């Protein structure tokens, strides 16, 4: 007979505690004993915000048609496999990203205001001030129910001290998550450290720390005995789920180790931080896979992911773009630069598609993990050349447990506050927030 398990059951080992995915054995007996067709288990809703810098080439981004009759154009074409899970929203604006008498600095303002809905105080000193971000409002409500209240990740460290954009502090350009109006949530860019934050790390003395690459044990080795004992308590379906999950964890561990090894071998004369891949595609994929793992294990229900800092001038040689991203975002309609930007936009959309397909393939409850998510992908700028803060490129993926009618392109007729969307998402996290930023109400179009 299958043993009833708590949703918070962990696999334990030496200095290690490993979360588990939702198993049938974690459901109430009344649900498990019922007719499978009547099994109405309700996994928790997860929320994530993924940002990319410097806007997009909007003619290649914006879908054709609206409602359920729409077609993804050039940039978003990689998302066709998950089209039924998408809600693309045109016409949203973040007004507080605009200059309000404080001159240039649109990149800093776009990142700082993106999730806070607030206008940042222009300063390059320590007196930064903007507002608490939507993810942290949600974390304050549901964070106590998971191991981590929230998870903040990225691929570029950046610095928070000093100025980065026309008199605005670097903290504004390098963070989208803010605990309070003056406290940004530092993002982690090292996959190894994200992994250890999710599953813990064995305690090591200074000598072991120096040898950590060659002596580090797999987290699965540490919990192997507990995992074997747990399998004896599970039914056939749950055993299969557990095996699939442990295999995915092992695969991510191996990729992290490989990335660390390549970073050391390929640049013997250059000091590279351990665990951060030189290959930007592999770095992005590892972070996405860790985010999927965090949601799958219910280690957190709230996350942010900065694909790059705002104003980033990183090149994307992997897709044939050797010029800096920010540099060519000021394209002045020069076709060569526009074409290069489209390559970057397409690459980033392709990596998003891979992540969403992964969530779609992970079964949870009666559906897929993606069915229980709300994942916003977008930028605080639309046209990076003109620094526009309206008609933003916004994709919402997931169905929030069935409360979002996806598979649509919502075309708003007038400039609508992005913060209206945030209010609607917060409602689905049961945050009980009456207003947010310059919101004028909920985005009721999500329900229709």
- Residue-wise pLDDT tens digits, 6-44: 766 766 765 566 677 767 777 665 544 554 444 446 899
Separation of alpha carbons 8 and 22, rounded Å: 9
Asked if the model's pLDDT at residue 377 lies above 90, the reply is yes
Higher pLDDT, 221 or 65: 65
The residue-averaged pLDDT of 401-419 equals 95
Using the predicted structure, report yes or no on whether residue 352 has a pLDDT greater than 50. Answer: yes
For residue 404, what are its two tokens? 């979002």
Please tell me the distance from the alpha carbon of residue 102 to that of residue 45, in angstroms, as a whole number.
39
Name the nearest CA neighbour of 297 among 341, 252, 351: 252
Q: Which two tokens stand for residue 122?
A: 């222009």
Lowest mean pLDDT among 35-39, 56-60, 67-71, 84-88: 35-39
pLDDT for position 26: 73
pLDDT tier, 235 (very low <50, low <70, confident <90, very high otherwise): confident
pLDDT tens-digit series, residues 247-273: 777 777 777 776 666 555 444 343 333
Residue 15 confidence (pLDDT): 59
Bridge partner list, 375: 48, 397
Query: Which has the minimum average pLDDT: 81-85, 124-128, 238-242, 324-328?
Result: 238-242
Residue 285 has pLDDT above 80, yes or no: yes
Q: How far is CA 344 from the centre of its chain?
A: 18
Residue range 292-309: mean pLDDT, rounded: 95
pLDDT in the model for residue 256: 76
Q: Which of helix, strand or coil describes residue 302?
A: strand
Question: DSSP letter at 120?
Answer: P
- Return left, alpha or beta for 150; rule: phi > 0 is left, psi -120 to 50 is alpha, else beta: beta
pLDDT in tens, 123-177: 988 899 999 999 999 999 999 999 899 999 999 988 777 888 889 999 999 999 9
CA–CA dist 390, 90 (Å, integer): 9
pLDDT of residue 272: 35
Query: Cα separation of 208 and 215, whole Å?
Result: 8
Q: What pLDDT, on the 0 to 100 scale, is given for residue 222?
A: 67
Query: Cα–Cα distances in Å, from 162 out to 97, 158, 185, 414?
Result: 20, 11, 17, 38
Among 56-60, 73-77, 275-279, the range scoring the smallest mean pLDDT is: 275-279
Banded model confidence at residue 245, pLDDT cuts 50, 70, 90: confident
What does DSSP assign to residue 226?
H
Angle at the Cα of 334 (from 156 to 382), degrees rounded to 5? 50
pLDDT of the residue at 215:
45
pLDDT at position 231, please?
Answer: 78
As a whole number of Å, the CA-based R_g of the chain is 22
pLDDT over 50 (residue 204): no
Q: Are 406 and 400 in contact (CB under 8 A)?
A: no
Mean local confidence (pLDDT), 56-66: 97
* 3-7, 237-241, 411-415: the lowest-pLDDT one: 3-7
Q: What is the pLDDT of residue 345?
A: 98
As a whole number, mean pLDDT of residues 406-423 equals 95
Query: In the prediction, which pLDDT does 244 show?
Result: 74
Mean pLDDT of 55-79: 97
As a whole number, mean pLDDT of residues 428-432 equals 95
Quick one: what percent of the chain has pLDDT higher than 70? 84
**What is the overall mean pLDDT for the chain?**
87
In angstroms, rounded to a whole number, what is the distance separating the alpha carbons of residues 340 and 3? Answer: 56
């Amino acid at each position: 007979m299958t043993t009833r398990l708590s949703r918070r059951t962990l696999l334990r080992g030496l200095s290690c505690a490993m979360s588990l995915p939702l198993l049938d054995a974690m459901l109430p007996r009344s649900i498990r004993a019922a007719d499978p067709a009547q099994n109405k288990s309700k996994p928790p809703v997860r929320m994530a915000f993924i940002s990319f810098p410097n806007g997009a080439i909007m003619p290649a981004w914006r879908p054709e048609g609206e409602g359920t009759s729409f077609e993804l154009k050039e940039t978003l074409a990689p998302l066709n496999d998950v089209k039924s899970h998408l809600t693309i929203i045109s016409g949203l604006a973040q007004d507080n990203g605009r200059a309000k008498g404080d001159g240039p600095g649109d990149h800093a303002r776009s990142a700082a205001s993106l999730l806070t809905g607030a206008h940042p105080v222009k300063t390059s000193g320590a007196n930064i001030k903007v507002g608490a971000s939507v993810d942290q409002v949600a974390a304050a409500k549901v964070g106590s129910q998971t191991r981590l209240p929230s998870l903040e990740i990225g691929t570029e460290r950046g610095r928070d001290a000093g100025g980065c954009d026309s008199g605005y502090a670097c903290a504004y350009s390098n963070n989208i998550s803010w605990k309070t109006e003056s406290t940004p949530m530092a993002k982690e860019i090292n996959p190894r450290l994200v992994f250890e934050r999710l599953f813990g790390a064995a305690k090591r003395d200074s000598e072991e720390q120096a040898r950590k690459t060659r002596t580090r044990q797999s987290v699965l080795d540490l919990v192997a005995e507990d995992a074997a004992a747990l399998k004896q308590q599970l039914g056939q379906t749950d055993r299969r789920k557990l095996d699939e999950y442990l295999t995915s964890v092992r695969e991510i561990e191996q990729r992290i180790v490989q990335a660390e090894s390549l970073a050391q071998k390929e640049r013997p004369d250059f000091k590279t931080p351990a665990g951060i891949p030189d290959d930007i595609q592999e770095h992005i994929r590892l972070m996405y896979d860790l985010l999927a793992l965090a949601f799958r294990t219910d280690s957190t229900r709230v996350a942010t992911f900065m694909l790059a800092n705002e104003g980033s001038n990183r090149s994307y040689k992997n897709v044939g773009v050797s010029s800096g991203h920010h540099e060519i975002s000021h394209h002045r309609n020069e076709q060569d630069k526009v074409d290069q930007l489209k390559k970057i936009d397409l690459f980033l959309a392709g990596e998003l598609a891979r992540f969403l397909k992964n969530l779609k393939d992970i079964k949870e409850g009666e559906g897929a993990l993606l069915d229980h998510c709300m994942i916003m992908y977008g930028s605080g700028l639309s046209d990076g050349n003109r620094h526009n803060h309206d008609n933003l490129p916004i994709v919402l993926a997931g169905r929030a447990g069935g409360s979002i009618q996806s598979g649509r392109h919502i075309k708003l007729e007038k400039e609508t506050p992005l913060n209206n969307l945030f209010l609607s998402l917060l409602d689905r996290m049961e945050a009980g927030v009456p207003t947010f930023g310059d919101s004028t109400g909920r985005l009721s179009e999500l329900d229709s």
